[in-house]
Structure 1
C-alpha cells in the first residue's frame, strides 16, 4: 500500500508577496516572543514573566543563547537565538503569558484562539510528560491542559502525531470553543482533533478558554509533568486559524514564526472515501480547498482510467465526485487527482482504498431526534442525532431485555443497541471518558447500560441490560477457507458486581461478546470480555482501540452472520463500535487511513510528513523520494530539517 504526495519549495520573501486579503486581526498576533534579546521581552504585545518571580527557580533555570552556544541542533541549518526552560518541579514554576484583552466566540472569555511554538526537546526529556500550557489558571483543573506525552504525541486526553526527540518542531494548537472543537498540528500538518467539552464543563467559556487580559501558564504543571526543553518562538492569536493557514505557516524557522500569515496553498480537505475502506456502491472523489490559489484543469482517475466526475465549486471548496461506480468486493483501488494551481503549477494527489467483503461505518443512517428528557430535566430537542433503526439487513434483538412495564424506567434512547452521533452521545450525557473514542466519527453503534439505567433505575426494578446486534448474512462466495477477518474500532469501559437486580443480588457483570454463525449453524464465540478483574475474560478500560479477529471460516462455509452482544449490564458503563470491516485474507492487508499532505516549505525550514494505516500488526513503513528509499525513514512520520530546493519532489510512503 502506498501513498503519494509532492513537496514544493519557496522563499520566505516570495511567500509574503503572495499573501491574500485576510483580515488584519487574523494576520497579526496579539503576542509573540522570539527571545532575540536574551530576555522575556515581547516582539509583539507584552513580555512574559516568571510565575515565581525574577529570583525564583524558573529564572535560575532559564538560559538564553544561540543553538550553537547551547549545543543543540540548528533550525533548518541556521543558528537561532533561543530560550532553554527548566523542568517544572511545582505549580509555582513556569512563565506567565499575557492573554488577549477581549472576549470572543460568543462568551465572556477568549474562546477562539491559536498558539504556535517552535520547540525542541532533547533525549533527556524524551519519553516523559511535557506540559506545554495551563490555559485556565487552575480554575477548572490545576493540571496543565496541553501536553506532549511519553509516547511523543501532542494533545490533551487524546494524543496525536509524533514529536521527535532532538528535532525542532512547530507545534500548533487551535481552540475553537465556539464550535466545540480543538485541533492539533505538528509542522503545519493537522495530526488530530477533539471536542472542547471537558467532562461536565461545556466548551464555551470552559476549560480551554483564556481569561481576557489575564495570563496563561507556559511549561507548567501542578505535579511536575513539565520537562526541560528549548523554544525559539511563541505566537498567540485571538482567532482560530484554519487548516490551510496552519499549513501555510508550516514548520519551524530560525527567524521565528511569521507574524503575517502566508498565502494558503491548495490542499486536500477530504478524500471520499477517507478511511481506507468503502462499500461497493459508495461515491468516490475528493474535496479540494483551493486556499488562495485558482484551480483549473481538474482530472480524476480511478484505477488508471480517466473518469467524468461532477465538479462543484462552493466558496473555498471544490467537490469532485464520481457517483457510485459499483466496485466489486474484495478489491483494491487507486484514485489520482490532478489539477493546475495558479501558485504552484500542476499538483497530483493519490488516495487508495479497499472494498472489503462488508464495511459498515453507519454514516448512511438517517438520524432523528432524541426522545427522552436530558439529564437536567429540560426537553432535549436536538435533531439528527439518534436512531434505533439499524442499517439495511442488520437486526437488533432485545428479547432478553427486561420487560418495559414502566415508561419512566429506562431511557428509551439506550433501551438496547442504538445508533447516535458520536459527539452528541458523549456531550449530552456525563462524558465520563466517552469522548476518548476518537477513532469514531459521525454515527456509531452504542450499547450504553449506564445511560439506560440513569432514568428511573430499571435495573433494580426490571433486571439487567441484554441486547444483541447482528449483521446481515454475508456471502462468502470466492472466499478461501481460514482467510476471513474482522476489524472494528471499539470503546469499552467495564464495571460489575455493584448493582442489585430485582432479586437483591449484585450479579451484574457487563459483558461484551461476538458470536459468528456459518451457514445458519450454531454460534461460535470469537470474543468475550467481561468486568470481573479476577476472571479470565476481564478486559480493562479501552475507550479507544482497534480490534482484529481471525474468524477461521471453514471450507464449506457459504455465508456468515456476526452478532455483537452486551449482556448483564447494570448501572455500569458501555460498549460502542464503529468502522466495522469483514474481509478475506489470512491477515488484514494494510490500508492507508491518514494520507500525507502535499506541502510548501521554506528554504532552510523543517518539513514533517505523516501517514496513518490500518491492518494486521506489525505494520512497516518506508518513505521514498522520487522512487528511492530514504535511509532511516521507516516510521509513520518523516521529518526533514534544513529543507532545500534539492529536497523538493515526489514523496511516497509504502506500508
Structure 2
C-alpha cells in the first residue's frame, strides 16, 4: 500500500528540537515537567532525564482509540512486525456501571494495572480516582527504587494534570492536544521521545499518541482517514524503535516494547457505550522472553503493568489485577474447542464461543434440568467474553473482567428465552479430583461474577473421596467479578477432593460465572 503523507508528517518535518541538557546525576531524579507553553508550537524543549540503572529497559506506547482489527488494513509495517515477532493479546473492556469505555478509565486501567472498581476512575471527570492506592507503573518504579529513570511524553493533558502519570516520574513532557490539535502534538511528542530514547538513558518510558481517537471521532473507524491516522502513528512507532536501536549501549541492553490502547470505536465513530467495537482493546509486547507470534485469549488490558515490571526483571507488584503477557492462566477451560451459535440469533455466525464439553475428568450434571430452553445455556456452559456479552448487552455480563479467556457460565436468564419443560434451572459443574492427602486444609480459589434475582440459589460444595457434599460457600448477595479464596478443611484420611458449583431454583433469574478454579 502506498504510504500517504498526512498533515502530521508535514508538521513533523518542521520540528526543531534543542539539544538535551546534561543528564542528572544517577539516582537524583529532578521530576521535571515541560508543558506545551514551555516552547512555541513546533518545538519541544526536551528535558534532561536521569541516567538509568538497568540494562533491562521497557518502552510502552499508547495509541488512543486504536481498533486492533483495523491495523491489518492500514499501512502499518512497524505494528505488523511487532505483531509477528511478539505476543498480541486482544480483549474487551468493561462497560457502565463499572466504567464508561472512555479514555479516563482506559488509561487509568493501563497505567495502574487494576480495574476501575479499584482505581476509581469511571469517566473523563476522573472523579473518585485512587491513584494514591494504585499509582501508575512508572510511579511504582520510583516508589520501589528512586534510582530508576522514568520518562513520560503525553499529549492528552489530563493524563498529567489528573495524576494518571504522576509528578513522581523523573521527567514528563505534557502537551495539550485538545488546544493545539493532535496531529501537531503527536508529531512533537514523537520527536521529543525519539530524542530522549536515542540520546539519554531512561529505564522505563511511556509515550502517548492521540490522533487516532480524534480521527475516529470525526470520520469513523471504518474510514480511510482512520487508516491514514494509523499509518502516521505507525511511522512514529518506527522512529522510536529506530532511536532505541541507534543507542550506543543498545547491544548490551534488553528492550521490551509494549503497544496498547484505551478503548475502541464504532465504525461510524464514537465510544463510551457497550458495543463490541467500542470495547475492543489489546496489549502487544515484544522482547526477551515474550513468545513470537502468540495470540493469547487470556490477556487483559490491566496486563501492561506486570509486563513492564517483568521486562525490568522485577516481580509483579502485590495487590493488582495485572499479569505478565507471557503468563498463561493454566486454566483447563482454555483447551476446550468452542462452537458457534445454535439458538442465539444475535451473535454473528462466525463468533465461536460456547461448549458443553468439559476438560478431562470434569463433569456436568443436568439431570434436574427441564428439557428445552436455549441450547447454548442449557446447564453450565463454557463461553467467552465476546460470545456471552453478545447474547444480551447491558445486563452486566460485560463486568466479568477478572475472568480470562474461556470461563464457565450458568445463565438462567438466557436459557429461559426459549420455551422449555416445566421446572426451574438446576445444573451443577463438577471439577476433577484434586489431591489432598496428608493436608489439614487446602485453599480453594476461583473468580466469581454472580447476579442474583428472585429465588435463585448458588452454592459451592466439596466432596472427599466420593462422599457427601459439604457446603463451603452460599451466595446470597451480588458479587461483581471478584476473586474468591476459601480455606477448606480436609478430613483425616481423605485423598481426593472435588468441587461442585450448583446453580438452581432459577428461571428468568440472571446468571453465575466462574473461572480459574485452583486448589492449593
Normalized per residue, the structure richer in helix is 2
Tell which structure's C-alpha radius of gyration is larger. 1
Please report the TM-score for the alignment, with normalisation by the length of structure 2: 0.48
Please report the TM-score for the alignment, with normalisation by the length of structure 1: 0.39
Normalized per residue, the structure richer in strand is 1
